[in-house]
Amino acid sequence: MPILSSTSAFSRVTALAAQRPIHAAFSWLHANPKTLMDWQIDLVGIAAPSNGEQERARWLAARFTEAGVSAVETDAVGNVLGMLPATKLPPENTGPVVLLSAHLDTVFPADTPLHPVLAGDRLEAPGACDNAAGVVGMLAVVHALVKTGVGAGVELPAALVVLGNVGEEGEGDLRGVRHFYEHSALAGRVAAHIVLDGAGADAAVTQALGSRRYRVTVTGPGGHSFTDAGTPNPIAALAMALAGVAETPLPEEPRTTLNVGTMRGGISVNSIPESAEATVDLRSTDGDQLLRLEVALHRAVEDAVGHWNARSKGPGAGARGRLEFAITKIGDRPAAHLADDSALLAVLRAVDRHLGLRTDLRLGSTDANLPLALGVPALSMGAGGEGGEAHTLREWYSPKNRELALKRVLLLTLAMLEWAAEQ
């Protein structure tokens, strides 16, 4: 039985949208496109590789404070948190909250040239869309809620927690959201989690694609390519292992993938290397498939190293040492999905119906993986506009139709705050 029927969800959204303060919030979004783009230009000019988001976190903390967010703080891993308290509840209230988040980090190294260019309404810069669009969208919703009247904003039936989190991209491994759910006193109170990630207003990630990532290292004594010929070669062993695991059969359903992303080692063409290293990415909608591939990876590496140790020969090869290996997990994103009868999904569909939109439910790997795996209703959605060339130096963003998408986020957030207050 649905937690919230489609009829009651639509009635809730329609009633919300008819309120005068909500009209004022919509008007703020309509009147401030330049403010949003100015924020976005500022933000993309700040380098924020995973594990290096400190300056961008300081920028966001200042913007939260300017907006009137309460209890702004930066936690132990660099997440920036704040709260818009429930309007008619005491500050010490410990009831349910709704969490709105956007990740601060980008895929680009700290030394990447960042020179934002605004050509017409198109912003060109690394990270312009992913995830400057999400962070700015979160700020816009906060401002629209707070600054919609003289001395007062939209009334909130439950507290809204806002989070600019670190470590979403690549080897960041959802570090920021993981820390929140493992250590924050607020974690157990989250009734719903809405993630803003990138552009768009026609999709939501409700199925979390699981992934496991590994660093495989093979080490040996190394030596001169001629004098020490026969000494086991880490690159040869690693190459054999990777070629073997790449032959592992993959099912079409559940969709499962395996990728060798990087490989490096050695110092010169006439040296037997002392080490070789590769990174491997495994993805599936099914946790059992991830386990199967993990076992196949370990077996392939062990067999390859054993093979080259067994055949090693040459002056001093045995005495100088043998190959050794290590397989280190560097990423683990759980697979999960938002239940079809979730109130969050019912409200999203009601908001779409009210605004004349249609959401395509998708599979993806986002910050929503963590709460979904913990049983917290969550989804990841775009913050409006259009974007392209993500994760490249040619990345761009256009605010076309951003206002409509932010209305979507705002109505979804408010309806879920109402629902949370009733739990």
Average pLDDT, consecutive stretches of 10 residues, N- to C-terminus, the chain (423 residues)? 72 94 94 97 97 97 96 97 92 92 97 95 96 98 84 84 96 94 97 97 95 97 92 96 96 94 96 97 93 97 96 60 94 94 96 95 95 97 96 96 97 97 92
- Structural class in CATH, domain 6-208+336-421: alpha beta
> From residue 415, how far is each of 308, 340, 396, 421 by CA, in Å?
62, 18, 32, 10
Residues 399 and 306: their CA atoms lie apart, in Å, by: 56
What totals of helices (H) and strands (E) does the chain contain, helices first?
A: 12, 19
CA 184 distance to own-chain centroid: 18
Q: What 3-state class would DSSP assign to 278?
A: strand
pLDDT of 151: 47
How far is residue 281's CA from residue 170's CA, in Å, rounded to a whole number? 10
Residues in the chain: 423
What fold is seen in the domain 210-333?
Alpha-Beta Plaits (3.30.70)
Which neighbouring-strand residues pair with 159?
Answer: 97
Q: Which residues contact 150 (CB under 8 A, 6 or more apart)?
A: none
| The pLDDT value given to residue 92 | 80
Query: Which of 307, 304, 308, 299 shows the shortest CA–CA distance to 248?
Result: 299
Q: What is the pLDDT of residue 1?
A: 34
pTM of the model: 0.90
d(CA 6, CA 304): 56
Enumerate the domain spans of the chain: 6-208+336-421, 210-333
| Largest separation between any pair of C-alpha atoms in the chain | 86
How far, CA to CA in Å, does 140 sit from each of 159, 225, 402? 17, 61, 11
pLDDT at 2: 43
If phi > 0 it is left, if psi is from -120 to 50 it is alpha, else beta; for residue 350 that is alpha
Taking the alpha carbons at both ends of the chain, their separation in whole angstroms is: 16
- Distance, CA of 197 to CA of 101 (rounded, Å): 9
pLDDT of residue 312: 79
What is the number of other CB atoms lying within 10 angstroms of the CB of residue 11?
12
Nearest to 144 by CA among 88, 69, 224, 242: 69
